[in-house]
Structure 1
């Protein structure tokens, strides 16, 4: 049922009732030669088109673009509705041209404003459009004949575009109900007929047209499914240029078209781009021309890093004009050719460009780049009286000999992960599956394979020097498990164990396989290596963290292990400050005078050494108390009074250092503070209570 899409048949229904003769109120100036007009000549008054004229012009532009890009297999059936319906052409290929439609519309003429509006209705045309969609086209007949035994596989889909002036939203719903009932009736008739086909899908695009300066009575509505057979969308548009822009956007959406704007087109007589530019013979100007074509012409452009820009209500790709070459024998390697259609076919730049190309010239188009070399990605050329946009291959040609895997793809990259890629292909091989195979999730085998391939390639570096974790054997268990669709509790424990092993490696300061390509010396330091490793590991797990809660638990484990405890961060900060202090001391030492005595120099050196050693002892992990248990003692408090008298013995220095270190680790014992001759007195209050004096052996005496 996928042989014919909705775009195969399009039925245009244009309202021809008396209210369509109303003015659109968009003024059109007829007298534009204001400077060359003689004095006394009254200028022409501006005119305005009717709603009918605006609808016909815009619908013809829709058909023109369609016929330019798709000359075959995309068919239009044009219907006019008033007191009855008028079918202006058929589904035959010879009737598919704007000349046939314009001649038929000229015969119909404008709507009669004096006609009874009660006798006119858009419903006549909508019913005729549904009946027309049930008719078999020539291409459908060929497919049904080729598939005689399975003719029901040929699908019948179509689209109805209705241009009218609706009364209200209720009126729109009434039109949708009428189309739905007509489809059901026609499907019943088609079931018993060989000349008709039942409609499997129908899209209704209702465009409500109202004059300039008035409020719309119909609200916009996106595509909505009315029934399994009918979908509907409503667009409320002001007549005039707004209607033309809306239908230009619709034709791009309906037939998968894209826009390309050619910039910097020179209008110079030397290039013969526009030989009729007589008034600009001595000057040059650059113009822009917008072209429509199939969307596939931009696939390689976006792959190479190109971007599009917003042009009004739609996006367009900008390409720059290159000076054409006169050698028409030169061939270019093209990967695709697509028919084009100018957006504004009647404009002067568009006419000059098409005439220039139809004369046998080719134009190369380059991507606009702020820096770097010129990249020519497209070419405009005509074949058989039709203009095509050619996509040029801007990378290595597939017609050349394939590059060696050691040479690299167009560059000097040689460290590809060839072994890992072979393992990757082995894990994602496709195998035939019987139709009876049942999957609890309800997914088809092809969908499951695509989902697995998407998960495995969310983060997969191609070059060895661009990754760290995929070069480490310790990360293999986590990398193999995190790409799974679901994780078990054992898988989570395995991943957490892998993370803890990495933490242990960092604590032991083990080396990592960091690439030194492009860096000077031995590469980054050990701390920087582990920072790179943790960042890459977190990036890998983040791409899968949203799958299940267990994937998120693995990410939480990595984040928790990466965060440093406050004590370690404070110790590193103090270490950096101490290094800065030593640097400043070395710089200031050269400026000091040498007239101090050796005792003062020795004493100051000893004090600095004591301070550093005490800080090392305090920062050691064996300290039983936290660092902020007792405030830091000043240097004057640590220095004994006998130091001022002269040199100090080595034993005194060692004793003072131990005392200073111990004083910072805990509160001083009260008995040591009140001791006499380094001996603490026991049972101090016993004499006051009993009147007895206690000796060292514990005996009391009066």
Structure 2
């Protein structure tokens, strides 16, 4: 982790040689009073600025924007894994026959007033000076030497860190404004800077007042007059060596150079542009009328992050009328790319609309960020009016222009302590409101999160302060140990209750708590093995498991399928930690050994599965079989009723087949006469009784007593009187 980015140090090297006194050939009208000018008055002739004047004005505009939007806070650069201090400082050097350093790295010298006064003392380049004695190389060498000097902030950090002073990096940027001769001349300048960096690093190795340059970005801007062809070609950023990268921009002097420096300052300090449209202002010449103006502001790019968080894309926003912006939204990387026809250069901006009614500063708004702003054209009348309006204590709400739907107020302009800030208003749900339901989260309508387990997880991984005396220098840092523990605990940690089985079982808690440890003792291994044997015993007893049935039909998976899911999940948990130590591997081996069942156990499992399937089928088909039986009986009865001649109905018993045990042998008798048909309507019961009687009569001989009975009574011992001459009555008495 290193501190200080390339933006911390910026060295401007401006060419002051005689060829910089050449005209830029961009005409500037001085006489603008064409209508009110009296007759006979000769208008003033237009003038043109020199290359030197254009370079000084554009570089000072770069300096002004940087000083307006100065970042003193500590920022973490996650892409480069560096800690960045963005308190940027600029060193200004003029080069002719020798170099002239106009300011230093001290904080009191970082003011535009002092620098402008020093530039006025330098004056314009002398066109009559010998060009052979002047060179931009003097300033480039001085720029490398200036980068090796330690700033006040770097000295403070090095003193505070002491033993870890190497974390304080020394990186910077050199911006050279010159008129190069050719591409070969550019390569010569790059070689000179590379050699100077190597020499200065050798000197800084044995000095406490100098720091070796670890990275240097060279931005060479070739300036040439309008109407001429450039002799230097553009080139994107290229790595010359591990210490030096270089890029070349060939730009025409005048407004083109101003636009290029405006784009560079946005790239170097991660700035973005916002255009405020429909600003009502009274006309200066006609006080009773008003017109709408636009003002472009520069600020840090983070002020636009809310557009992406709320799902808005730049394509849905109106773009500045003078720009044609092509926006690219990259998922995961908040990136904006724009192409503009204005000034023939890249331009990106987001348009926000002036919102009425305005608010006072006493009103409170829920803001998620505040960023300093700087007008792009600070001297224009619309920018001046807007600045004065805000400095007087007024606040302006800004809304996103939309083609349809209600307006969304996303930003606010307000001043604090004499500085103007762009406030980002929260257009989504406020954190001060009631929290949303957990079913409204990113996972959809999920309600079975392991909230209680997650609270316990946070308590186990809570960070606490550690004194330096208790830290072992030979071991890991406390923060590294904490990160390692957090990594082990989250290798396998399901978030939803329905997606896990073992974390819902109290029997697995001892193993789950021990397996995430960095090292295991023999007692821990025995505890884990005991837990596994308990699970095996549960499976042998066929105990139920807490399997979730959310989203499934019926009772869920079968019992053996439940245990298979449980063993697979337990093995997955232990496998993620098996490579830590041999004892972790022993726990995994125990699980694998217990999962391999003997053949008799597998056979018993198969029988159990068949029995469960049969019971499930019976339970599932119970109602259906009942319906089938009732239907079959009704069909039989219907078929019997449809028979016209019951005499044709005979029971077919094969004579060759053995008689059933519970069936009497069939007797050959005279066929019984057919039952007489009842006249009139016949009930279903009588029809069924008649049929059964006819069928039974053909099966066996009718009982004699039933056929010869009188009044349903049959007299016993009828032949006794004839044999013995005695008459026996019912009461047992005899008579003769």
Residues 540-559 of structure 1: CA deviation (Å, up to 9, x unaligned): 99999999999999999999
Contact 1:614 1:661 (C-alpha < 8 Å) held by counterparts: no
Query: Separation in 2 of the partners of 1:138 and 1:13?
Result: 22
How much has 1:475 moved relative to structure 2? 27
How much has 1:94 moved relative to structure 2? 0.7
| More displaced 10-residue stretch of structure 1: 364-373 or 408-417 | 408-417
Residues 164-212 of structure 1: CA deviation (Å, up to 9, x unaligned): 0000000000000000010011111111111111100000000000000
Contact 1:15 1:82 (C-alpha < 8 Å) held by counterparts: yes
Contact 1:614 1:660 (C-alpha < 8 Å) held by counterparts: no
| More displaced 10-residue stretch of structure 1: 645-654 or 353-362 | 645-654
Determine the structure 2 residue equivalent to 1:530: 563
How much has 1:328 moved relative to structure 2? 3.0
Query: Separation in 2 of the partners of 1:632 and 1:121?
Result: 139
Contact 1:134 1:198 (C-alpha < 8 Å) held by counterparts: yes
Contact 2:98 2:139 (C-alpha < 8 Å) held by counterparts: yes
* Root mean square deviation, CA, Å: 17.4
| More displaced 10-residue stretch of structure 1: 187-196 or 567-576 | 567-576
Contact 1:396 1:410 (C-alpha < 8 Å) held by counterparts: no
| More displaced 10-residue stretch of structure 1: 378-387 or 495-504 | 495-504
Query: Separation in 1 of the partners of 2:647 and 2:641?
Result: 10
Equivalent residue runs for 1:293-308 within 5 Å: 293-305=299-311
How much has 1:369 moved relative to structure 2? 1.6
| More displaced 10-residue stretch of structure 1: 472-481 or 424-433 | 472-481
SS at match of 1:38: coil
SS at match of 1:591: helix
Contact 2:672 2:697 (C-alpha < 8 Å) held by counterparts: no
How much has 1:515 moved relative to structure 2? 20
Contact 1:205 1:232 (C-alpha < 8 Å) held by counterparts: yes
Query: Separation in 2 of the partners of 1:411 and 1:200?
Result: 49
Determine the structure 2 residue equivalent to 1:149: 163
Equivalent residue runs for 1:197-236 within 5 Å: 197-236=211-250
Equivalent residue runs for 1:250-649 within 5 Å: 250-268=264-282, 277-305=283-311, 313-406=346-439
| More displaced 10-residue stretch of structure 1: 80-89 or 300-309 | 300-309
Determine the structure 1 residue equivalent to 2:197: 183
How much has 1:371 moved relative to structure 2? 1.8
Contact 2:24 2:50 (C-alpha < 8 Å) held by counterparts: yes
SS at match of 1:147: helix
How much has 1:146 moved relative to structure 2? 0.5
Calculate the TM-score normalised by the size of structure 1. 0.59
Q: 1:597 to 1:86 in 2, by over 3 A?
A: closer
How much has 1:281 moved relative to structure 2? 1.6
Query: Separation in 2 of the partners of 1:253 and 1:691?
Result: 146
Residues 460-488 of structure 1: CA deviation (Å, up to 9, x unaligned): 99999999999999999999999999999
How much has 1:244 moved relative to structure 2? 0.4
Query: Separation in 1 of the partners of 2:723 and 2:31?
Result: 128
How much has 1:405 moved relative to structure 2? 2.3
Q: 1:382 to 1:597 in 2, by over 3 A?
A: closer
Query: Separation in 1 of the partners of 2:105 and 2:305?
Result: 32
Contact 1:618 1:661 (C-alpha < 8 Å) held by counterparts: no
How much has 1:82 moved relative to structure 2? 0.2
Is 2:49 the counterpart of 1:49?
yes
SS at match of 2:438: coil
Contact 2:360 2:395 (C-alpha < 8 Å) held by counterparts: no
Calculate the TM-score normalised by the size of structure 2. 0.56
How much has 1:402 moved relative to structure 2? 2.7
Q: 1:599 to 1:588 in 2, by over 3 A?
A: closer
How much has 1:313 moved relative to structure 2? 2.0
How much has 1:623 moved relative to structure 2? 45
Contact 2:339 2:347 (C-alpha < 8 Å) held by counterparts: no
| More displaced 10-residue stretch of structure 1: 107-116 or 365-374 | 365-374
Residues 429-474 of structure 1: CA deviation (Å, up to 9, x unaligned): 9999999999999999999999999999999999999999999999
How much has 1:327 moved relative to structure 2? 3.8
SS at match of 2:343: strand
Query: Separation in 2 of the partners of 1:416 and 1:428?
Result: 19
Determine the structure 2 residue equivalent to 1:668: 702
Mind listing any 5+ residue stretches in structure 1 that lack a counterpart? Answer: 269-276
SS at match of 1:635: coil
Q: 1:399 to 1:42 in 2, by over 3 A?
A: same
SS at match of 1:323: strand
How much has 1:573 moved relative to structure 2? 47
Q: 1:391 to 1:610 in 2, by over 3 A?
A: farther
Q: 1:537 to 1:335 in 2, by over 3 A?
A: farther
Q: 1:539 to 1:593 in 2, by over 3 A?
A: closer
Q: 1:48 to 1:444 in 2, by over 3 A?
A: farther
Q: 1:424 to 1:120 in 2, by over 3 A?
A: same
Contact 1:310 1:316 (C-alpha < 8 Å) held by counterparts: no
How much has 1:394 moved relative to structure 2? 1.3
Contact 2:11 2:90 (C-alpha < 8 Å) held by counterparts: yes
Number of aligned residue pairs: give it: 689
SS at match of 2:606: helix
SS at match of 1:208: strand
Contact 1:69 1:339 (C-alpha < 8 Å) held by counterparts: no
Residues 101-159 of structure 1: CA deviation (Å, up to 9, x unaligned): 11000000000000000000000000000000000100001001101222222110010
SS at match of 1:387: strand
Query: Separation in 1 of the partners of 2:359 and 2:51?
Result: 48
Contact 2:360 2:394 (C-alpha < 8 Å) held by counterparts: no
| More displaced 10-residue stretch of structure 1: 598-607 or 230-239 | 598-607
Query: Separation in 2 of the partners of 1:43 and 1:625?
Result: 142
Residues 64-109 of structure 1: CA deviation (Å, up to 9, x unaligned): 0xxx999xx2100000000000000000111111111110000000
Contact 2:361 2:414 (C-alpha < 8 Å) held by counterparts: no
